Amino acid sequence: MNLSSAAQCPVRLAGELAESVQYRGRKASRQGSEQRRLSILDAALRITVREGLRGVRHRAVAAEAGVPLSATTYYFDDIQDLIADSFALFVKRSSASLATLWAGVDEDFRRIAAAIEQDPGARRELATHFIDLAVAHVQSKMREHDDELLVELAFRQEALTNAELRPLFLAHQSLRLSFAERAVRAMGSSAPFEDAQVLTTLVLRMEYHAIVDGVDDLDLEAQRAVLQRFLDLIVGA
């Protein structure tokens, strides 16, 4: 598999996941109803960021969304349906965002792919480019006060005990693995699936540090060094 095709596959998978998301709650019959349903789900996500999933209750969500309590119970009879659908909305938006992000760097991947065909040593350029992308992605999310990382952590914890959420959570996580696998394969990995799991874990580690330490106090050089050390092992530096 060449680098060009490797870059395209995660884009397709992310787009397909975004399109395939299904909701469990009552379907909206009108545009206005759909906007109200989405406002309820957005309110549940905001509460999740502030208080964790333990704070997601019908009354709290209704107050956060500025809608009558009857509106939340109309769309979601069961609080678990409300939690599941808020996670589904998160996955839909996140997957679409990842598809756009990866499509945006496709030209860079194509350029490096052409260079690797001429000189295998260009794999080091790909490793450096991957690190730059990972660091910039985390910095951007934290500086823009993007709550996606906090939401993902909350649902990761919930998926450990909620079997109904697990398939969607695993599908979302597989997007990261797919992108990482194709990247390390292009770098010359002899065990791309295993190396991709390690690389994905290291990027998650960086995200956790960004949340705990704060983006201004995050030791980016130390984080880059960890990623660089691992990728050097793959490319044989």
Helix/strand/coil (H/E/C) assignment for every residue in 36-79: HHHHHHHHHHHHHHHHCHHHCCHHHHHHHHCCCHHHHHHHCCCH
What are the b/e assignments for 10-48, b being 16+ CB within 10 Å?
A: bbebbbebbeebebebeeeeeeeeeebbebbbbbbbbbb
Whether the per-residue pLDDT at 48 is higher than 90: the answer is yes
Q: Give the count of domains, the chain.
A: 2
Is 118 within the bounds of a domain? Answer: yes
For the chain, percent of residues with pLDDT exceeding 70: 92
Whether residue 81 lies inside any domain: the answer is no
If asked whether residues 65 and 12 sit together in one domain, one would say no
For residues 120 and 151, membership in a common domain is answered with yes
Same domain, 142 and 177: yes
pTM over 0.85? The answer is no
Compute the average pLDDT of residues 28-43: 85
Residue 49 sits in a domain of what CATH number? 1.10.10.60
Q: What is the Cβ-side half-sphere exposure of residue 68, based on CA atoms within 13 angstroms?
A: 3
* In a shared domain, residues 8 and 124: yes
Average pLDDT over residues 150-175: 88
Within-domain flag for 208:
yes
| Structural domain that includes position 95 | 3-22+91-235
Instruction: Please state, in angstroms and rounded to a whole number, the distance separating the CA atoms of residues 59 and 182.
Output: 45
152 and 121 both lie in a single domain: yes
pLDDT at position 92: 92
Q: Are residues 168 and 156 in the same domain?
A: yes
Distance from the Cα of residue 123 to its chain's centroid: 25
137: confidence class by pLDDT, cuts 50, 70, 90: confident
Tell me the C-alpha distance between 159 and 92, whole Å. Answer: 17
| CATH number of the CATH domain containing 195 | 1.10.357.10
Average pLDDT, the chain: 85
82 within a domain of the structure (yes/no): no
Instruction: Based on the fold, state whether residues 113 and 221 are members of the same structural domain.
Output: yes
- pLDDT of residue 5 exceeding 70, the answer is no
Same-domain pairing of 71 and 149: no
Residue recorded with tokens 């996670």: 87
109 and 63 inside one domain: no
The beta-carbon contacts of 102-111 under 8 Å, at least 24 apart in sequence, are 102/7, 102/10, 102/11, 102/14, 102/179, 103/11, 105/7, 105/133, 106/7, 106/8, 106/11, 109/3, 109/4, 109/6, 109/7, 109/186, 110/3, 110/4, 110/7
End-to-end Cα spacing for the chain: 22
pLDDT at residue 227 tops 50: yes
Same structural domain for residues 169 and 62? no
Residues near 166 by beta carbon (within 8 Å), at least 6 away in sequence: 159
- How many Cβ atoms from other residues are within 10 Å of residue 124's Cβ? 16
**What would the pLDDT profile of 158-168 be if each residue is shown by its tens digit?**
888 888 889 99
